[in-house]
Structure 1
Amino acid sequence: MLTARDGAVRIRPVGPGDADLYLALRGNPGTMRDLGGPLPPDRIRAGHAREVAETAAGRAQIVVAEVSTPAGWVPAGNVSLVGSPPAAAEIEWLVLPQHRGRGVARTAVRLLLGLPGAAERWGRVEALPSVGNTASNRLCASLGFTDRGEVDVDFAGRSFRCRRWELDLRAQVPQ
C-alpha cells in the first residue's frame, strides 16, 4: 500500500509496532464513548493483530494517521477501510484526544480515499458514525458523503443509532 501526505498529516499502513496506538485509542473512554466505552486490552491487541494481517494480505486498507511535530512524525489515529463490492466498503476512523479538532481525521480519510486505485477497488464507501458524534457527521458532510438517514448498527455486542453516509468513489474523490 502506498503512503500519502498532505502538509502536517500523513498516512502509512498499520504495522506490528502500532499496538500502543491501538491501546491508546480503543482503551480511551472519551474516544470510545460513542462505541460503548473502552475495550479490554486483550481484545484491543487481538483486533490490532487482525488488522495488521488483513492489511498485509490486501483484504483491507488500514492506515495510521501521523502528524508532524517538532520531534518528528507521531501517531495520531487510524483509518480503516474494509469490505468488498458489490456491498459498500465501510470506513471508520479514530483520533487521539490531543490531536482532535485539527483536521487530522478529515485529512487522513481524504488521503486514504484518494490513493491510486481506491475508486476501482472500493467503489461505494459507507461511514456509520453515531448520531451524537457531531464531529464525525460533519466530517462526512464536508467530504461529500450523502446522508442516507439513521440506522441501528451492532458493535461489540451493543446496538447503536448511527447516521449512514455514503460516497461513490467512482463518481467523485473527496477534496
Structure 2
Amino acid sequence: MTGVRIEPWGEDGLDLLRQLNAPEVRAHTGGPETDGQVVARHGRYVRFAGTGQGCMYTVVLPDGARVGSVGYWERDWRGARVYELGWAVLPAYQGRGLATAAVRAAVAAASARRSRRWAHAYPSVGNPASNAVCRKTGFTLLGETEFEYPPGHLMRSNDWRLDLTG
C-alpha cells in the first residue's frame, strides 16, 4: 500500500497496543497479555528507541490512522548477533499489504544502521499471513525451529533470514 509510513513508538501508543492485544491478533504469539503486561510492554517500546539496540514503530496510514506495530531488536541466534523483526496489524486493516509495507520500512531502517548483517523473523508455522509477509519482503526460509515466545512457551516457528547488506 502506498503512503504507509512508520514512526518511532511514542507515549501516545498505549491505546494502539491495547487494541493489538486482541485474541485474533495474538493468536499465534501466546494469546492476549494482561493489561499490566501491555502497560509494561508500552513502557519498553517507548524507552527502546534510545538504546541503540533497535526500534519499535507505529504503522501509520496516509490519513494518520495508527493501525499496527513493527520493529526490530537485537538477539543472539545460533552463535550470532542478529536483528529479529516482529509486526502486528489491527484486524480491520489486515489483508491490504500494510504489514508488508511496514516490514520493508523497518528492514530499511535496520539496514541503515549497518550494525548487523542478518535480520530474522520467526512466525508460527501455523500463521500463513506472517509467513507470506516474509516471502514478499525477500526473506529466505531456513526451515522450522523451536522458538521461545512468549518467554517460557516454546512454539513451532519458521526461521526466515534476510541479508541486510544486500
Q: Same fold (TM over 0.5)?
A: yes
Match status 1:160 vs 2:151: no
TM-score, normalization: structure 1?
A: 0.86
Query: Using the alignment, how far apart are the partners of 2:23 and 2:82 within structure 1?
Result: 29
Question: 1:3 is matched with which residue?
Answer: none
RMSD after superposition: 1.7
Match status 1:80 vs 2:71: yes
Runs of 4+ with >4 A deviation = none
Counterpart of 2:136, as a letter, is S
Q: Unpaired runs of 5+ in structure 1?
A: 1-5
Matches within 5 A, 1:1-175: 7-26=2-21, 28-68=22-62, 72-83=63-74, 86-115=80-109, 118=112, 120-156=114-150, 157-171=152-166
Give 1:139 deviation, angstroms: 1.0
Task: Name the SS for the 2:65 alignment partner.
Answer: strand
Query: Using the alignment, how far apart are the partners of 2:35 and 2:109 within structure 1?
Result: 32
Query: Using the alignment, how far apart are the partners of 1:116 and 1:36 within structure 2?
Result: 26
Query: Using the alignment, how far apart are the partners of 1:34 and 1:116 within structure 2?
Result: 24
After superposition, the C-alpha distances for 1:28-56 in whole angstroms (9 at most, x for unaligned) are 00000011211101001101101210113
After superposition, the C-alpha distances for 1:80-133 in whole angstroms (9 at most, x for unaligned) are 100068422100001000110001110011012123852613320000000010
Task: Name the SS for the 1:140 alignment partner.
Answer: helix
User: Aligned pair count?
Assistant: 162
Task: Name the SS for the 2:28 alignment partner.
Answer: helix
The percentage of aligned residue pairs carrying the same residue is 33
TM-score, normalization: structure 2?
A: 0.91
Whether the 8 Å contact between 1:128 and 1:165 is mirrored in structure 2 is yes
